[in-house]
Amino acid sequence: MKKIGFILLASLLSLKGFANEPGTDNPTHPGLSKKAFQTEDVQKHWFVGAGAGAQIFFGDHDKQLDFGDRLTPHFEIYGGKWLNDSFGVRLGLNGFSYKGATQTGVYGTGETADASQWLDFQKWNFLNVHADFMFNWTNDALGYDPNRMYNLIPYAGIGFGVVLSDPQSVKFSPNLGVLQSFRLNDKIDLTIDVRGNIYGDEFDGEIGGRNFEGAISTAVGVKYNINK
């Protein structure tokens, strides 16, 4: 896996919104009425959200297991703010547990996965704390519309994965993902969040000689828009 560099989120906080005057047309798409994205009111454009779904971990010996044996539940909660019509930031917490296979017994469940390869099942609890920089591609491409039914929002972030099982550990964990939102009303959106996380080697308790281990999660949830 290739190393991924991320721009510090702090440098993005200086971005300013570029909003049209209320009642004017979208210059990119003439004839499309566009409301101004108000940036002067710091209380506007905050949001909170939560979701649940499934996740899978990619560790040193996990390819020897069936796909279904590695799936675990996943939850996430987050809060953030749109800085302008295209860019936003959020802080989040996600996690629950990962499953895999071990040859050393670390995080072992006591069940044999493959006796011929000395593999046992393993399971460990974790949390991931992250800060994400979000890009509303739909607004950027089509113009800001608070009543749009669908938004496509890629994001990148940095954070830390914390193993709660014994032995505990903390690993730096960058991530990439895509958040899709579907407007239900002025305040609530249905969301689908697909995220990929990278962890340093030994997040599963074993040193396998790889630079990274990783995980993919998908969560369905709701997002509540505060003072939209």
Indicate whether 36 belongs to any domain. Answer: no
CA distance 176 to 155: 6
Q: What is the pLDDT of residue 16?
A: 33
Answer whether the bond into residue 174 is a cis peptide, omega within 30°.
Answer: no
Indicate whether 9 belongs to any domain. Answer: no
What residues are paired with 156 via a beta bridge?
Answer: 133, 176
Q: What is the pLDDT of residue 216?
A: 96
Indicate whether 152 belongs to any domain. Answer: yes
**In the chain, alpha helices (H):** 67-70, 137-142
Domain that holds residue 58: 45-226
Phi then psi for residue 128, to 5 deg, are -125, 120
CB 21 within 8 A of CB 33: no
| pTM for this model (two decimals) | 0.80
Indicate whether 149 belongs to any domain. Answer: yes
Residue (of 227, 143, 221, 218) closest to 181 by Cα position: 221
Indicate whether 21 belongs to any domain. Answer: no
Indicate whether 120 belongs to any domain. Answer: yes
CA distance 73 to 92: 17
Q: Where are the beta strands (DSSP E) in 10-106?
A: 46-58, 72-82, 87-102
Q: What is the pLDDT of residue 209?
A: 64
**What is the token pair recorded at 186?**
């002025």
Please, what are the averages of pLDDT over each run of 10 residues along the chain (228 residues)?
Answer: 36 33 42 59 86 92 83 97 96 95 89 86 95 97 93 97 93 97 96 95 78 91 90
> Which residues are CB-neighbours of 55 under 8 A, at least 6 positions away?
71, 72, 73, 74, 96, 98, 215, 216, 217, 218
Phi then psi for residue 12, to 5 deg, are -85, -15
Indicate whether 193 belongs to any domain. Answer: yes
- 158 to 27, 38, 155: CA distances (angstroms): 35, 28, 11
- Residue 165: helix, strand or coil by DSSP? coil
What CATH number is attached to the domain comprising 186?
2.40.160.20
- Residue 140: helix, strand or coil by DSSP? helix
CB 48 within 8 A of CB 75: no
Q: What is the pLDDT of residue 205?
A: 84
Cβ-based neighbour number of residue 182 at 10 Å:
14
Indicate whether 40 belongs to any domain. Answer: no
Q: Based on the structure, what is the number of domains in the chain?
A: 1
Q: What is the pLDDT of residue 127?
A: 97
**What is the token pair recorded at 36?**
């101004």
**What is the token pair recorded at 50?**
């939560």
Q: What is the pLDDT of residue 51?
A: 98
Cβ-based neighbour number of residue 39 at 10 Å:
17
